[in-house]
């Protein structure tokens, strides 16, 4: 049990998720670091956080498997006494023109990004304590409409709609529900499969003329997780001004 505010970060062992974990630890949260497949990576992060005086545990599970997510919430509640903030950074991205996308890849993207967000949001809505927050993740490409992002953007557009509806369904619960939509951000997920020219072009498309860093996104998440009690049912484009 803990008197600290408790955050459950899905996909918390790498990329944006890891930056969010570290930011919330700085702000005196207790954290549950979720992993889907790489238990060692999550456990190593937790060990580092605990050694520095933080309160952290690792929790595994497939975000699209409802029973596994129920078990994950059970573990967190048993260890910390409850959960206040759920942040779902977990997701996959496979780039392909719509005409050449393998439909098995399409199904995998939708299972993780849409079903996974639905499952996590459903049980977050049932478990998060009064004064809490649910934060999902989309992408700025839902507005820029870059080629080859069709299946990924379709999944994230669904996440945006789900978030806006859930915010209204939780009327009277004092729980905010928002989506963060990053622009080009230097994570392994974003950089994978892109050559230097493509990365430079995307960085230059931003008025600030750089890629976002995971820490940039974590700042927005921390705001929505804590002080932003009047921000609800919104999509926050955290992208340096990408049009």
Tokens 């605990």 locate to: 50
Give how far Cα 95 sits from Cα of 19, 91, 116, 159, Å: 24, 13, 19, 18
Tokens 């930056």 locate to: 19
- Known catalytic residues? 152
Cβ contact 18:42 at 8 Å: no
Q: Where are the beta strands (DSSP E) in the chain?
A: 6-10, 30-35, 55-60, 85-88, 133-137, 176-182, 235-238
Beta bridge partners of 179: 136, 235
**Distance (Å, whole) CA 181 – CA 228:** 16
Beta bridge partners of 107: none
Cβ contact 112:92 at 8 Å: yes
């Amino acid at each position: 049990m803990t008197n600290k505010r408790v955050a459950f970060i899905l996909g918390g062992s790498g990329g944006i998720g890891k930056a969010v974990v570290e930011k919330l630890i700085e702000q005196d949260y207790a954290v549950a670091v979720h992993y889907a497949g790489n238990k060692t990576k999550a456990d190593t992060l937790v060990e580092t956080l605990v050694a520095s005086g933080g309160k952290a545990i690792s929790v595994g599970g497939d975000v699209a498997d409802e029973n596994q997510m129920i078990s994950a919430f059970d573990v967190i509640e048993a260890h910390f006494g409850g959960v206040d903030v759920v942040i779902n950074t977990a997701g996959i991205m496979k780039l392909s023109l719509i005409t050449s996308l393998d439909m098995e890849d399409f199904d995998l993207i939708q299972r993780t990004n849409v079903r996974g967000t639905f499952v996590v949001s459903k049980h977050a809505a049932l478990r998060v304590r009064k004064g809490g927050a649910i934060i999902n993740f989309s992408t700025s490409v839902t507005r820029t409409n870059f080629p080859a992002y069709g299946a990924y953007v379709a999944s994230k557009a669904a996440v945006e709609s789900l978030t806006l509806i859930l915010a209204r369904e939780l009327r009277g619960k004092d729980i905010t529900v928002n989506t963060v939509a990053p622009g080009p951000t230097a994570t392994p997920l974003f950089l994978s499969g892109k050559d230097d020219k493509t990365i430079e072009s995307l960085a230059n498309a931003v008025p600030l003329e750089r890629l976002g860093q995971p820490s940039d996104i974590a700042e927005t998440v921390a705001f929505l997780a804590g002080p932003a009690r009047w921000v609800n049912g919104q999509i926050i484009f955290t992208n340096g001004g990408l049009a």
